[in-house]
Structure 1
C-alpha cells in the first residue's frame, strides 16, 4: 500500500500537529473553487472518466450504489482498483492532494450479514450490536469503504412504511442505546484504525412520520414531540461520537429538512455541538425544488448551505452554484468554510491523509468461522417466540416423528439476507433446509411450497409441519410501503388448510415489519417471528426449533390487531377521556374492534416460565441528582435455562405536557439456570424521567413517578417514588 506523498509544501500532512491546526493550514491554501469542490459528492466515481474533475479538486467524495434506492437493486460491487486509481488522481495529481472519501451502504453486514436492524433490536443486546458493527466495518474496509450510512434511528409506529426494517425499534431508549453501540462498533475508539469506518446517523429528522406510511412523504409534527421522541436517538448517536449525520427527505411542517435551518444548524450543530458532517440524502438538495420550496437548484443550494447541509450528495447544486452565490454576496463565505472544515475534519479523523489507498494485497472479507459465530448469535437473539402450546422445542431424537419443512424460504439464501444488503451473497447463506437436513436426516421432508396441493399431501403425511411464511426481502426497505400489513397473498389459505389436519403446526414468520398475525396466531400451535436473519439464518432457526438454544428475542415494535389499528405503539398518551380497562378500552375508541395490540412491545416467550415478584425501591423519595435502587426478583420455574429480558418502564402521571402511558426506561438481560431465582436491580435517577416542556427546554418535575417492571409492556407491576429537590 502506497502512502500519501509528503512534501514541505504540504504542512498539513504533519501528523504531529493537532487536527484543527492541520485544517487551518490546508484551508489557507484553498481557492473558493477548491472549497466548493469539498462540498460535492458524486455517485460511482470512475477513475478515467472523472480524472480531470478529481485532479482539479472539484470532487470531495463518492458513494458506490446502484442508484437512489440501492437497497432494492444489486450492483457490481466495489472495485478496490478503481478506488485506488481515483485516489491517485486526488492525492498525487491535484494541487493540494486532498484524498477522496468513499462511502457505501453497509447497513447490517457486508459479506457476513446479520439480521436486519429491526431484528438486531429484537436482541435488546447492546454489546452484540457493537460486535455486529465491528465485523461489518472490518469487512467493508477491505473493499476500500471508509464510510457507511447507518445506523438508521428513525422512530416510527407505522409498519406500512418499508423502512421500519432498517430501524432499531419504536422506543427512543432502545433505539438510542443500540445506535450508540453500532456507532462504536463501526468507528471504534480511533476511527483512523484501518479496520474502522465512519458511521452516519439518519435520517434527521421525523422521517418515520411520513404521511400514510409512504416513503418521502410530508410530516406534520410539533417540535415538542420531535424533542421528546424523535430527536432522542440522534442525540444518543451524537453523544457516542458519530462522525456524520444524514438529512431526511421529508419536510417538517412545510419546511424541507434539507432547508431546515432551525433543526440542522440551530439544534444539531449549535445546541448539541455536533462538529461532524451533515450529508444530504440522495439528491436531497435538488429535491427542495420538487418540494416547491425553491424555484431552481441555485436557490436550493442557497437554502441548503444556510440550513447546515455540508455535503451535497449527487445533485450537483453546490458545485454549480455555491461559488457564484458567495461572490454575489447571497451566501456568506463563512458558511462554506464551516462546511469545508467539517468535511476535511472527517477525512483527517479517518486517517485518509496518511492512508489514502485501499488496496490490501491478499486480504479477504469472506465470512469466517468467527464472523459467522457472531452472525449466528445475532440470528438466534432475533428469534421472537410469540406463541407456544407445547409444540416447541421439537424432539431432536432419531425416534421422534416426521417433520415437514415447507415454504418459499426453505432454500432461498438470498431472500433471507433482508433489505439493504449490497455485498452479501445468497450462496454463502446457511438456509433452513441446509440446517434441518443436517440435524433431522430422514425424518425431514422438505417442500418449497410452490404448489399448495403438494404441500397439503406432504403435511398430511407428516406428524409436524413447520411452515416458513412472510415477506420476501424485496417487500421491505426504501420505497417499499404497503397498504395492508397482512401476509402476502395466498399464504393464509395454505396455512388454514394445513391447520385443518389438526396436527402440530409451527409458523415461522420472516418479515421486515410488524404484520397482522391474528389469524396465524389462531391457527398455529407455535409462532416464531424471526425477521430476515442473514448469513446464519438456517442454523439460527434450527437451533431454536430443536431447543439447542432458548428463544430470547423480544418485539422491538408493537404488532397491531390489523392495518386499521395503525398507529398502535407505546407512544400512546392519555386523552381527555379516560381509557378504562374494564370496558376493553372502548371509551372514545372503535365501535367495531378492540384497541389493544395483538402483540405488545417487548413480548417474547421462552421454553420456560419466569415469575416476577413485586418490585420494591430502596427509598420512597428520589432527590434530584441522586438514585434509588429498584429491585425485582425473577424466578425460572422450569427445568430449562433461559435468558430473560427484564424490562423497566415508567409513567409520569402529571407533567407540563402529556406523557406516554408507559415508556421504556431500561432493561437487563438475565441468564437463569433451571429453578434459579435472582434479584435484578436498576439504579434509577430522576433525570431518566426528564422531558421537554412547553418552552422546549428539558425539565424534571417534582412529584410522583410510577416505575413498572415486567416481561413486556403489557404485563407490568408498579411501584412509586416521589421526585424531590436536591438534598439541602
Structure 2
C-alpha cells in the first residue's frame, strides 16, 4: 500500500474496513512508533513529564492501571476516569498520529459491583449467570475509561496449595471452558461486532498455558507436563475461549518442560495462532519478557525482547524490554520487520474493533456514570451469584434455620466484615458496600440494626471463652470461619490446607457445648475440612461471595432460597493427598472404591477425596434411576440420547445439577477414570420427578491421541449420570 499523508489521517474514516484502516496507518508509522504500540506501561499520568513525553512521541500503546505486580493483594485509590482521559487527550491531541491509548485494568470478578470470586461463580455451573455478571463488570469498568481486562483465567486448578485457584473456574476442562467462554461473551458481547459498544471490554484468556500445574503449588514455579496432558486437559479451556472470540491471550509466567511460555513459539505460534487460527493480541504477563533472563534462556533484556516477539508475544507488559531494544533489533535484522508489523497490526486492529478512534473518551460514550455506585439492578445479579456460590456439604437436619427459634449466636471473624468478603482481585470494590452477615441476620430476624442479645447474639470470636458461654444460651450457633482473601490469590500459596490458626480450637469449644452448630466456610481454595465436618451439624462452603455476602447467606441458611451450589473442585482429605482431582487416569493396579480402606495408595489414610467434584446438598433428597440410551450403538459422526429420571423424595423444592460423565475404557492413550461431559440444571417440586435428556454427539468423545491429533475411536464408551463424581451410574454405548 502506498505511503499516506499522516496529516490527512484517512484511517479515521469509519466507513473503511478495519484491515484497510490498519494498513493505512501502518504505512506512515516509523519503527519507533510501531514499537510504541507494543509497549505497555503502568499508570500513565498526564501530570508526569516523562509520561507526557512518551505519549507525545507515540512511544506507548497501552497502559495498565494497577498498584503493582500483585495488585490483587493490594488496595489502591481506584481507577479514575479523569486521570485516564487526561492521558488519552495527550496521546490524541499532541502525538504525530493521534493513536489512542488502550487502557487496561484487572476486572476479575466485578468492578464496583463485586461478584463471588471465579471459583465461587463456577459453583453455580451457570453459563448465563456468569455472562450476566461479566457484562455488569464490563459496563462499570468501561465507564471509568477501562477497555481491556485480564480475565477470564481459565487455567485448570487441581492443586489447592496454589493461591490462584481462587481466580479459576476449577479443575474441569469442560466447566472451565464453558464458563470462560460465557465470561468472554459477557465482557465483549455475544457477537464480534459488539466489542465496539461503549459498555464492553476486550477480554484476555490467561495464563497460556499450564500455569495451574506449578510445581508444588508454588506460584511462578516450573511445569512438567507431557503433550497428552496439555492437549487433553489444559489447552481445552483456552480453545473454548478462542472459539468464543476472546480478543487477547496472556502468556503464563511458567515454563513448559524447560521452555518459558514467553519464549515458546510452538505453543504460541504453531498451536494458538496456527492450529486454532487465533488472530488477536498476545500480551506478556507483568515483567514476563524481562523475566526470561531470570529463567535462564536470555542473557539480557535485549535477547529477551528478541525471543519474546519472535515467539509470538505482541505486547510487553511494563518490563520496557521492547521499548529499549526492539527498534535496534529490527534495524540490525535480528527481528524481521514483518514480525514487528504483524504484532502492530494486531494491536491496531484491536483498538479499531473497540471503537477507540471514534469514541476515545468514556465521558462522551459510556451509558454508565463515572465510578458508578452499585445499583439495585447490579446488586440483584450479585445476590443471585452469591446464592449460587453456597455449597452445602453437610446437613444433619439443622438447616434450614427456623426464623422462630428462640435465639441464635452468630460468631466468627467474618460477622461484621465487608472488605474480607470481597475476595482477592477486587481493585475497585469497596468494603462499605458489602452487606455484612450480621446486618443481614438482623434484617431477616426483624431486629434493629444495632441490636444484639435475646434472639441474636453477634460475637466476632476474639474471646473463645465468651463465645462458648454465649453458645450455651442460644438454640443454634452459626460460626463463620475461613480464610482472609490475603491468604489466596497471586503469590499466596500455602503448605497447610487447614483453617487458619485458632479457628479449629474455637469450633471444638463450640461443639463441646452440645447445641446445634452450623459452620460457614469462606475460602479462596479447597480446604481440608475433615475436622470441621466431624464437629459441625451442618457445613456450607461459600468461597468469597462479594457484595451481597450477608443477604445471600441469610436467604440460604433460613431456606428462603434452596441451596444450589456444587463443588467445581475436588476437596482432598489432606495436603498429603494433593493433587486429587477428576483428572486421575487408570493405573495398572486400580483401587475399587469398596477396597480403598484396605488396599489404598496410603498406609495412613484412605485414597479418595474428602468431598468429590460436583458434590452439594439441597434441603431435600433426590434419587436417580439407572440411565438409558436411545440406542446401543451410535455411528461415527452421529449422536445418542442419554436419559435419566430424577425424583424429589422430600417436601421442599429441589434444585438439582444432573451431571453426565464419560469413561473411555480403551483408547490410544490413558483417559480419565471419569470426565465431566455435560450437565443440566432442573428444579423438582416436592415429590416430583423429571426425565433429563442429554443429546450426545460422538464428537464429544474426541481426544488427542499419541501424535497429538484429534481422534474419535470406534468401540465401547461408558456414559455415567449422577449427582457428583463420587456417585455415578453407567450405561454403555458402542461407536460403530
TM-score normalised over the length of structure 1: 0.97
Residue 596 of structure 2 corresponds to 584
Q: Corresponding residue for 2:16?
A: 17
Q: Is the 8 A contact 1:640 1:673 kept in 2?
A: yes
**DSSP-derived class of the 2:363 partner:** coil
Measured after TM superposition, the shift of residue 356 of structure 1 is 0.9
Structure 1 position 450, deviation (Å): 1.1
1:656 to 653, 668, 675: 668
Q: Give the CA deviation at 1:8.
A: 7.0
- Equivalent in the alignment of 2:584: 572
Give yes or no for contact 2:521–2:541 (8 Å, CA) kept in 1.
Answer: yes
Whether the aligned pair in 1 keeps the contact of 2:6 and 2:28 (CA below 8 Å) is no
Q: 1:711 to 1:588 in 2, by over 3 A?
A: closer
C-alpha separation in 1, matches of 2:343 and 2:127: 33
Deviation at 1:478, TM superposition (A): 0.2
Q: How does 1:383-532 map to 2 (within 5 A)?
A: 383-397=390-404, 400-440=405-445, 441=447, 442-532=454-544
Q: For residues 625-650 of structure 1, what are the alpha-carbon distances to aligned partners after superposition, in whole Å with 9 as ceiling and x for unaligned?
A: 21111000111111111210000001
Pair 586,12 (structure 1): closer, same or farther in 2 beyond 3 Å: farther
Give the Cα–Cα distance (whole angstroms) in 2 for the partners of residues 537 and 336 of structure 1: 48
For 1:134 and 1:522, the matched residues in 2 are separated by 41
TM-score, normalising length from structure 2? 0.96
Q: Give the distance between the partners of 1:255 and 1:622, measured in 2 at CA.
A: 42
Contact 1:506/1:525, CA 8 A, preserved across alignment = yes
> After the TM superposition, which parts of structure 1 deviate over 6 Å for at least 4 consecutive aligned residues?
none
Moved more, 540-549 or 440-449: 440-449
- Alpha-carbon deviation of 1:156? 1.8
Does residue 1:127 correspond to 2:109, yes or no? no
Instruction: Give 3-state SS (helix, strand or coil) of 2:642's partner.
Output: strand
Partner of 1:338: 342
Q: Secondary structure of the residue that 1:721 maps to in structure 2? A: strand
**Which of 374, 383, 387 is the aligned partner of 1:367?**
374
Q: Which residue of 1 aligns with 2:687?
A: 675
Given that 1:579 and 1:585 are in contact with CA atoms closer than 8 Å, whether structure 2 keeps it comes out as: no
Q: Distance in 2 between matches of 1:544 and 1:580?
A: 36
CA positional deviation for 1:706:
0.2
Q: For residues 577 and 362 of structure 1, do their structure 2 counterparts lie closer, same or farther at Cα, with a shift above 3 Å needed? A: closer
Q: Does 2:640 match 1:641? A: no
**1:169 and 1:557 in contact (8 A); partners too:** yes
Q: Is the 8 A contact 2:656 2:683 kept in 1?
A: yes
Question: 1:350-393 deviations in whole A, cap 9, x for unaligned?
Answer: 10011111225954521111100000000000000000000000
CA distance in 1, matches of 2:444, 2:97: 61
CA contact (8 A) 2:629 2:643 kept: yes
Count the aligned residue pairs: 717
Contact 1:577 1:588 in 2 (8 A): no
Is 1:155 aligned to 2:162, yes or no? Answer: no
Q: Which moves more between the two structures, 484-493 or 581-590?
A: 581-590
Which residue pairs with 1:3 in the alignment?
A: none
Q: Quote the RMSD (CA, aligned, Å).
A: 1.2
Question: Aligned to 2:319, which of 297, 312, 315?
Answer: 315
Distance 1:717 1:209 in 2: 30
| Separation of aligned partners in 2, 1:349 and 1:581 | 53
Q: How far off is 1:588 after superposition?
A: 6.5
Q: Distance in 2 between matches of 1:588 and 1:447?
A: 43
Aligned with 1:684 (options 662, 685, 696):
696
Question: Is 1:378 the counterpart of 2:381 in the alignment?
Answer: no
Deviation of 1:270 after TM superposition, in Å, equals 1.2
Contact 2:81 2:370 in 1 (8 A): no
Question: What CA deviation, in whole Å up to 9, does each residue of 1:389-421 have, x standing for no partner?
Answer: 000000013xx2211000000011000000000
Matched, 1:228 2:229: no
Report the counterpart of residue 39 of structure 1 in structure 2: 38
The answer to whether the 8 Å contact 1:577/1:587 transfers is no
- Partner of 2:472, secondary structure, is helix
Tell me what 1:554 maps to: 566
**CA separation of 1:141 and 1:679: change in aligned 2, threshold 3 A:** same
Any conservation in 1 of the 2:6–2:97 contact (CA below 8 Å)?
Answer: no
1:79 is aligned to 2:86: no
SS in 1 for 2:362: coil
Choose 549-558 or 579-588, whichever is displaced more: 579-588
Correspondence 1:94 to 2:95 = yes
Q: How does 1:589-600 map to 2 (within 5 A)?
A: 589-600=601-612
C-alpha distance in structure 1 between counterparts of 2:154 and 2:256, whole Å: 17
Alpha-carbon separation, structure 2, partners of 1:55 and 1:236:
39
Moved more, 361-370 or 91-100: 361-370
Whether the 8 Å contact between 2:70 and 2:490 is mirrored in structure 1 is yes
How far apart are the structure 1 equivalents of 2:369 and 2:691?
Answer: 51
Check conservation: 1:310, 1:339, Cα contact below 8 A. yes
* 2:107 aligned residue: 106
Of 8-17 and 247-256, the range deviating more from structure 2: 8-17
Aligned 8 A contact 2:144 2:370 in 1: no
Matched, 1:273 2:273: no
How far, CA to CA, are the matches of 1:653 and 1:586 in structure 2? 25
Using the alignment, how far apart are the partners of 2:468 and 2:325 within structure 1? 65
Alignment of 1:607 with 2:619, yes or no, is: yes
User: The residue matched to 2:176 in structure 1 has which SS?
Assistant: helix
User: Which residue of 2 is the match for residue 355 of structure 1?
Assistant: 359
In 2: Cα distance, 1:401 partner to 1:238 partner: 55
1:587 CA displacement: 4.2
Offset at residue 613 of structure 1 (A): 0.8
Q: Separation in 1 of the partners of 2:360 and 2:370?
A: 17
Residue of 325, 332, 343 corresponding to 1:328: 332
Specify the alignment match of 1:537 in structure 2.
549
> How far apart are the structure 2 equivalents of 1:309 and 1:499?
55
Label 1:588 to 1:463 Cα distance change in 2 as closer, same or farther (>3 A).
Answer: closer
Cα distance per residue 1:183-212 (max 9 Å; x no partner): 000101311100111111000000000011
Other-structure match for 2:450: none
CA distance in 1, matches of 2:216, 2:227: 20
Distance 2:574 2:555 in 1: 31
Q: Structure 1: state its 5+ residue gaps.
A: 1-5
State the partner residue of 1:213: 217
Matches within 5 A, 1:235-314: 235-314=239-318
1:191 partner SS: helix
**How far apart are residue 213 of structure 1 and its match?**
0.2
2:130 and 2:369 mapped to 1: Cα distance? 29
Distance 1:481 1:581 in 2: 31
